[in-house]
Amino acid sequence: MSLMFTGRRTAAAVLTAALLVPLAACGSDDDKKESGDKATSSASGAPKADLTVLAASSLTDVFKTAGAAYEKENPGTKVTFSFAGSQELAAQVKQGAPADALVTADTRTMDGLTSDTGTPTVIAKNRLVIATGKGNPEKVENLKDLADPALKVVLAAPEVPVGRYGQEILDAQKIAVKPVSQEPNVRAVLSKVELGEADAGLVYRTDAATATDKVEAIDIPDAQNAVASYPAATLKTSENSDAATAFVKWLSTPEAQKILAGAGFQKP
């Protein structure tokens, strides 16, 4: 009797253990699934991803700050920016460059990419100023002074948003300017003035603000100025569409808008 009872108890124990194994395995799969789900999104709910954002050159400094803030708010997400003139960015998009979102310095460029982007949202605005060397050695006071043939003026190329804005305001005032060079983006214009290779140039107010130790910014009256709008949109070829959408939406949040305003950008 004792041996039979022991045998039955042993068999029961083996059967119980056998039944528990698949249950434990199921529990392990569920735990893994739950863990995997958590790994796909940050504390804020935005999907985690390595994002590549194509952005206008005039956003170089402020987007580095904004990107760091976004990564801090969304642990596990990395935002890499590629800065260039808006027309260069548009060409990259049309060529299928691997990226997730696009921010241009004008709506015209973005409007030409409707088949490649989601619905754009304007996240900021900007205005132009005349940038001169520190101390304004040539005593430039207004747009008319740029017509002086003795003055070395540099502008952005006509296909660049800031170049087009600049030409528009000069034409509106009937001011003829012969630039010594036409640059591919606003930062190249600013650099020419910083290095003393040009006496003056038309740049965005926010760009001049990044180089106050080397340049002076001469304000242009609003009535003679142009307003630059910055639309942001996701790219349809993005492999991280949900994460890209979350980032583009974030650019309109109070936190992002505070960063943009701190850099001198105007509200959308």
Whether 222 and 234 share a structural domain: no
Whether 119 and 134 share a structural domain: no
Report d(CA 129, CA 218) in Å as an integer: 6
pLDDT at 44: 61
Whether 118 and 66 share a structural domain: yes
With a cut of 50, say whether residue 36 has pLDDT above it: no
Query: Is residue 32 within a helix (H) or strand (E), and if so which, with residue range?
Result: helix 2-39
pLDDT at 229: 98
pLDDT in tens, 113-157: 999 999 999 999 999 999 999 999 999 999 999 999 999 999 999
pLDDT in tens, 157-206: 999 999 999 999 999 999 999 999 999 999 999 999 999 999 999 999 99
Tokens read off for 254: 């109070």
219 neighbors 129 (Cβ within 8 angstroms): yes
Whether 212 and 140 share a structural domain: yes
Report d(CA 120, CA 105) in Å as an integer: 12
Whether 209 and 164 share a structural domain: yes
Count of Cβ atoms closer than 10 Å to residue 45 Cβ = 8
Whether 114 and 137 share a structural domain: no
The pTM assigned to this predicted structure is 0.83
pLDDT in tens, 1-10: 443 434 444 4
pLDDT in tens, 58-72: 999 999 999 999 999
Is residue 62, in this structure, part of any structural domain at all? Answer: yes
What domain range is 239 assigned to? 50-125+229-262
pLDDT at 267: 96
Q: What angle do CA 77, 83, 87 make, to 5 degrees?
A: 130
Average pLDDT (95-120) is: 97
With a cut of 90, say whether residue 14 has pLDDT above it: no
Burial of 232 (0-12, 13-18, 19+ CB in 10 A): buried
The total domain count for the chain is: 2
pLDDT at 33: 37
pLDDT in tens, 215-241: 999 999 999 999 999 999 999 999 999
Which has the minimum average pLDDT: 24-28, 42-46, 67-71?
A: 24-28
Is residue 119, in this structure, part of any structural domain at all? Answer: yes
Whether 78 and 158 share a structural domain: no
Tokens read off for 118: 């989601």
pLDDT at 43: 52
pLDDT at 46: 80
